[in-house]
Amino acid sequence: TNDEENAGTVKKQLSKLFEQSLRITVPSESDVEPLIAACAPKFGDYQCNNAMGLWSRIKNKKDNGFKGPPSIGKVIMENLPPTEMIEKCTLAGPGFVNIKLSTSWIAKNIQKMLIIGIETWAPRLPIKRAVVDFSSPNIAKEMHVGHLRSTIIGDTLARMLEFSNVDVLRRNHVGDWGTQFGMLIEFLFEKFPNWEDASGQAIGDLQEFYKASKKRFDEDPAFKGRAQQAVVRLQGGETSYRRAWAQICEISRNEFNNVYQRLGVQLEEKGESFYNPYIPGVIEQLSNQGLVEESQGARVIHIEGVNIPLIVVKSDGGYNYASTDMAAIWYRLNEEKAEWIIYVTDVGQQQHFEMVFSAAKLAGWLPANDNMYPKASHVGFGLVLGEDGKRFRTRNTEVVRLVDLLDEAKNRSKSVLIERGKAAEWTEQELEHTAEAVGYGAVKYADLKNNRLTNYTFNFDQMLNDKGNTAVYLLYAHARICSIIRKSGKDIDELKKTGVLALDHDDERGLGLHLLQFSEVVEEACTNLLPNVLCEYLYNLSENFTKFYSNCQVVGSAEETSRLLLCEATAVVMRKCFHLLGITPVYKI
Ligand code: ARG
């Protein structure tokens, strides 16, 4: 159908047209893919860059029919099928074909989105199911800013994939199966013989408890011996040990949930313990394939090009982080049928994951070619720094409690709202809601707007600034657009159906084109796993809107209806960006 043909990003639709032209223009080079890219406004909207490459392929062929890249570009233009999408093409420089889209086609697409909904602009990805493994803190240990970054970045990636109609399994791969549990359980038994009646109350602060039991472990060899025994009894499934373990996990889980709840992040816990029963079978399979070798008592997989082997069974016969990850990747590919597995951790774990992926390729679970599915990707990120340029900590080098950090962001934004007199204007509920949206949104956006691989400096004043590239600025911009529409007194839903959107002014057209590019930006952010691409788009969108709004009168102008529709479209796209970034939009500010 016509709708099917018109589906996909602008870039994809142009690619289809140019592909048809390329096949007629140079039939001999039928494997050449169209090269279409957005370009600087002075050249046009998009560019087709195939002429130069084609020329170097055919210039030595006799009677190729062309004099050089420009002559190829010219014929590419002539052979384009008729389309309402393009207004005109022009030839530039050494053979670039500059493309100017039809303005009415842009306007029509935006109006269609307004009527049917932004879902029509969801990118299409070549996969149905993905696993995003993110957050993943360790039980009884500190959940630190690295886990916060993983939570924020992972949630955004999951949201973008979900928007693109991918079934996403959001996995919290918590560290709930380490040897630390022997020590913790033994300490629990020793200090609180009635631990089971106290249902978690005995332990109190789990991190303090962890420290105290570690101290005992290091100081008393007899205790250490019992702790090591306890691990064996836990792993053997002895009831009281399993119960104590479950109780400790539950305390941690409640703490993690305090963070997730504030951030509005959904996760399904499948911790290390979940994969434990699968490890022996997976290792047997790998051994049968001849991939596992003996090395200094341990059992390892050698990976070409890496100087250390992947240890899958320790010399004491126990399993480790890598054994679990081998079982997990096996499970996700073979049982859960994931076509893309995405792991979000700090860059420090990059080598670990590369080795796990290589081992999975050797086993034939993943194709050797990284451009094929199923595939696995490690999404690494840099450190969070304090203002002193060192690893982020609060005073006294104490660890930062994430809940306190988030609460501070919220309280600071609440104070600003109160200073601006909002306590008198709004209900307490509105005040709370806005303070949360702004505070948590600021923390998320400050993280996401950077290329994730770089370290970034955590700074409340900067992220809560209402000017510059911050969530606060963007939330304000959105609220202002909503208020323009509200104050016009027009029924926007009615206008969508009866009004006509036109983009006659240059700044209207510029904004309209930017809106239409939303889809390819989300696609790029998904494909390259780079949320900052979407942040940059959102910021530019708000800049484009400002330009339009300062040069084009909306309310009371002859173009009022059309311009209100453009305002509404901007607000819809901004809200979808917020949604994908995990930020709650506000309507009044
Ligand atoms: N628990 C680990 C940590 O805190 C992160 C786990 C990441 N996921 C995985 N499948 N290894 O560093």
What does the DSSP assignment read for 284-337? HHHHHTT-EEEETTEEEE--TT-SS-EEEE-TTS---HHHHHHHHHHHHHHTS-
Q: Is the CB of 176 under 6 A from ligand 1?
A: no
End-to-end CA distance of the chain: 44
Residue bearing the CA closest to ligand 1, atom 6? 136
Place of tokens 């029919």: 65
CB 103 within 8 A of CB 123: no
Q: Is the CB of 173 under 6 A from ligand 1?
A: yes
| Ligand 1 nearest atom to the CA of residue 328, by list position | 10
Q: Is the CB of 74 under 6 A from ligand 1?
A: no
pLDDT of 399 over the 80 cut: no
What is the rounded distance in angstroms from the CA atom of residue 291 to the CA atom of residue 126?
Answer: 31
Residue bearing the CA closest to ligand 1, atom 3? 137
Tens-place pLDDT, residues 221-240 = 999 999 999 999 998 899 99
pLDDT for res 205: 84
Tens-place pLDDT, residues 502-550 = 999 999 999 999 999 999 999 999 999 999 999 999 999 999 999 999 9
Place of tokens 């290390």: 272
Query: 53 exposed, middle or buried (CB, 10 Å; 0-12, 13-18, 19+)?
Result: middle
Ligand 1 pocket mutation, candidates 173, 174, 176, criterion most atoms within 8 A of CB: 173
The answer to ipTM > 0.85 is yes
What is the rounded distance in angstroms from the CA atom of residue 471 to the CA atom of residue 481?
Answer: 15
Helices 402-419 & 145-163 angle (0-180, nearest 10): 70
Hey, is 354 helix, strand or coil? helix
| Ligand 1 nearest atom to the CA of residue 147, by list position | 4
Distance 133 CA to ligand 1 centre (A): 8
Q: Is the CB of 379 under 6 A from ligand 1?
A: no
pLDDT for res 6: 56
Tens-place pLDDT, residues 123-176 = 999 999 999 999 999 998 888 999 999 999 999 999 999 999 999 999 999 999
Q: Is the CB of 133 under 6 A from ligand 1?
A: yes
Distance 175 CA to ligand 1 centre (A): 7
Q: Is the CB of 138 under 6 A from ligand 1?
A: yes
CB 265 within 8 A of CB 151: yes
Q: Is the CB of 561 under 6 A from ligand 1?
A: no
pLDDT for res 201: 74
pLDDT of 199 over the 80 cut: no
Q: Is the CB of 136 under 6 A from ligand 1?
A: yes
φ and ψ at residue 216, rounded to 5 degrees: -60, -45
The reported pTM is: 0.95
Residue 307 CA neighbour count, 13 Å, CB half: 0
Distance 187 CA to ligand 1 centre (A): 25
pLDDT of 396 over the 90 cut: no
Residue bearing the CA closest to ligand 1, atom 8? 173
Q: Which carries the bigger pLDDT value, residue 5 or residue 390?
A: 390
pLDDT for res 4: 52
Tens-place pLDDT, residues 461-506 = 999 999 999 999 999 999 999 999 999 999 999 999 999 999 999 9
State the chain's mean pLDDT as an integer. Answer: 94
Tens-place pLDDT, residues 91-102 = 998 899 999 999
Helices 239-263 & 145-163 angle (0-180, nearest 10): 70
Distance 157 CA to ligand 1 centre (A): 17
pLDDT of 560 over the 60 cut: yes
Q: Is the CB of 343 under 6 A from ligand 1?
A: yes
Distance 173 CA to ligand 1 centre (A): 6
pLDDT for res 550: 98
Of residues 283, 588, 256, 573, the one with CA closest to residue 435? 588
φ and ψ at residue 77, rounded to 5 degrees: -65, -45
Q: Is the CB of 345 under 6 A from ligand 1?
A: yes
Q: Is the CB of 269 under 6 A from ligand 1?
A: no
What is the rounded distance in angstroms from the CA atom of residue 141 to the CA atom of residue 143?
Answer: 6
Both tokens of 74, joined, read 């010219």
Tens-place pLDDT, residues 407-451 = 999 999 999 999 999 999 999 999 999 999 999 999 999 999 999
Residue bearing the CA closest to ligand 1, atom 4? 137
| Ligand 1 nearest atom to the CA of residue 349, by list position | 12
Of residues 474, 486, 456, the one with CA closest to residue 391? 456
pLDDT for res 1: 38
User: Who contacts 342 (Cβ-Cβ below 8 Å, separation ≥6)?
Assistant: 130, 131, 132, 133, 134, 154, 157, 376, 377, 379, 529
Of residues 50, 78, 281, 160, the one with CA closest to residue 582? 160
pLDDT for res 33: 96
Q: Is the CB of 135 under 6 A from ligand 1?
A: no
What is the rounded distance in angstroms from the CA atom of residue 114 to the CA atom of residue 541?
Answer: 17
Distance 343 CA to ligand 1 centre (A): 8
Ligand 1 pocket mutation, candidates 136, 141, 320, 341, criterion most atoms within 8 A of CB: 136
Distance 271 CA to ligand 1 centre (A): 9
Query: 556 exposed, middle or buried (CB, 10 Å; 0-12, 13-18, 19+)?
Result: exposed
What structural domains and CATH numbers belong to the chain?
2-101 (3.30.1360.70), 129-174+271-379 (3.40.50.620), 180-256 (no CATH), 397-580 (1.10.730.10)
Lowest mean pLDDT among 112-126, 141-155, 203-217: 203-217
Distance 141 CA to ligand 1 centre (A): 13
Mean pLDDT of 566-584: 98
pLDDT of 3 over the 60 cut: no
